[in-house]
Amino acid sequence: MQGKGVTLNCTLPVPSVQELVRQQRPDALPPRYLRDDTVVADHHHESLQDLPRIDLGKLMDLASRSTELRNLDSACREWGLFLLVNHGVSDEGMRMTKENVRGFFELPHHEKQKSAQRPGSLEGYGQAFVTFHDQKLDWNDMIFLKCHPPHARNLDLWPRNPPEFRMALEKYGEDMRKLAEAVAKYIGMALGIHEEELDLLAKSFGEGSCQVRMTYYPACPEPERAVGMTPHADATGITLLTECGNVAGLQVLRKDNCWVTVPPVPGSIVVNLGQIVEVYSNGTYRAPDHRVVVNKEKERVSIATFCNPSPSLPVGPSPQLLAATGLPPIFQTLSNSEEFMQRFYSRKLLDAVPFIDSLKL
C-alpha cells in the first residue's frame, strides 16, 4: 500500500495542545505545529452572507415545503453545507451538552486522561489521524465517542466528570440521530427520491450509527501559521455540527476554491454532507472540503456528530436517481456503510488517490 505510516483506524499518541498552552504559555509555535505547507497557504476568506440557511419547520410544513426543498437542493449542490435553523432540538438539551463538553475540557489533565484513547483505537480523549512520527499536527485536542447504537458505546471511555456529561451526551446523541433521519429524508426528497427508496434512506439514518467528536481548539500564539483542523471532507453520511460559543473557526471550500467562514449562528446546527451522500447522489451533491482556523485570543469548542446509514442501505448511487436522469453511475456500489468505513480506515493518510476518487468507476 502507498503512503507513509499506519492506516487511519488508529492514531499515534501526541501531547495535549491544551496542556502545552497551560504549562508553557508559548509565544511562538512549537515546530510540529508550524505549517509551512499548502494547508495554511490561503487564510483569506470572504464575507459570510451568502452561506445558505435551511428552515426545517418550512420543510415539514406542506405549504412551504416545495420552495424550501428547492433551497435545500441548491445548498447541497453548490455548497454541501448549510445552517439548519428551526430544527426542533430543545434549547435546554443543547445548553446542557455544550456546558458539559466545555466542562470536560476545563478539567485537570489527569482527570481527562481517564478517558484517554487506548492504543489501536480512535475512540476516547486524544487526537485523530496522527499516523507517522514526523507528521505536522493540528492545534486541537478531542474526545471521540460512539453514541449509537447503544451496544456500540464504550462506556469505560465516557467521562464520569462533569457528573452530568454522560446523561447530556446520551440525550444529545439521540436528538442528533432523529435529526439525521429527518435531514436525510428531505435531502432525498430534494434529490427527487420517493416512495420505498425514500423510506429506506430515512429509516437507514434513523437506525444507523452516531459518533460524536468534541474538539477543543486552544488560543494559538501564531494562528496564521497553524491549523485547527487540516482540510478534509467527512467520510460519513451526514455531519451535524454544533458550535459551543460564538468564536468562528470552521471554513468551507466553496466551488470557486475560496475558503468561506461559517459563522456561529446561535440556535443553528451546521449540516455538512459526507461522502456517503455524495456517492448516493451520484456526485450531484458535494461532500465539501472544510477546515478549522485558530484564533490568537480565543479558544473554540465544537461538537461534530457523524451520522451513518445502517447496513440496510447499500452505499452507491441511488437507483431512482440513475433511472430518472438516465446518467451512468460514477461510483461503485458497496454493500453498506460498514464496508465504506472499512475501505476508508484501511487507507493511509497520504495515499495518492483521494478516498472518494478511489470509489469512482
Name the site residues for Fe ion (rule: CB under 5 A): 234
**Quick check: 180 binds ligand AKG (CB under 6 A)?**
no
| From ligand AKG, Fe ion, none, interface partner of 292 (C-beta below 5 to 8 A by class) | ligand AKG
Least distance in Å: CB of 302 to ligand AKG?
3
b/e 127-143 (16+ beta carbons within 10 angstroms → b)? bbbbbeeebbbbbbbbb
**Quick check: 290 binds ligand AKG (CB under 6 A)?**
yes
| From Fe ion, ligand AKG, none, interface partner of 250 (C-beta below 5 to 8 A by class) | ligand AKG
Site for ligand AKG in 298-317 (CB under 6 A): 302, 304
**Quick check: 213 binds ligand AKG (CB under 6 A)?**
yes
Q: How many residues bind ligand AKG (CB under 6 A)?
A: 11
Q: Tell me which DSSP letter residue 355 carries.
A: H
Query: For residues 82 and 198, which CB has a smaller minimum distance to ligand AKG in the complex?
Result: 82
Q: Which residue number places its CB atom closest to Fe ion?
A: 234
Query: For residues 289 and 351, which CB has a smaller minimum distance to Fe ion in the complex?
Result: 289
Site for ligand AKG in 225-244 (CB under 6 A): 229, 234, 241
Omega cis (within 30) before 218: no
Tell me how many degrees the CA angle 182-184-185 measures, rounded to the nearest 5.
65
**Quick check: 215 binds ligand AKG (CB under 6 A)?**
yes
**Quick check: 11 binds ligand AKG (CB under 6 A)?**
no
Encoded one letter per residue, x for contact with ligand AKG by CB under 6 A and - for no contact, window 242-261 reads -------xx-----------
Query: For residues 188 and 249, which CB has a smaller minimum distance to ligand AKG in the complex?
Result: 249
Question: How many angstroms separate the CA atoms of 315 and 276, rounded?
Answer: 7
Is residue 111 exposed (0-12), middle (13-18) or buried (19+ Cβ within 10 Å)?
Answer: middle
**Quick check: 169 binds ligand AKG (CB under 6 A)?**
no
Greatest Cα pair distance, the chain, in angstroms, is 61
Q: What is the DSSP string of 267-324?
A: T-EEEEE-HHHHHHTTTSS----EEE---SS--EEEEEEEEE--TTS-BSS-HHHHHH
Residues 6+ apart with CB under 8 A from 308: 205, 208, 209, 210, 236, 237, 274, 276, 337, 341
Query: For residues 42 and 199, which CB has a smaller minimum distance to ligand AKG in the complex?
Result: 42
Query: For residues 252 and 313, which CB has a smaller minimum distance to Fe ion in the complex?
Result: 252
Query: For residues 264 and 316, which CB has a smaller minimum distance to ligand AKG in the complex?
Result: 264
Query: For residues 96 and 292, which CB has a smaller minimum distance to ligand AKG in the complex?
Result: 292
Least distance in Å: CB of 239 to Fe ion?
6
Question: How many angstroms separate the CA atoms of 271 and 84, rounded?
Answer: 7
Least distance in Å: CB of 291 to Fe ion?
9
283, 331 Cβ separation under 8 angstroms: yes
Q: Which residues bind ligand AKG (CB under 6 A)?
A: 213, 215, 229, 234, 241, 249-250, 290, 292, 302, 304
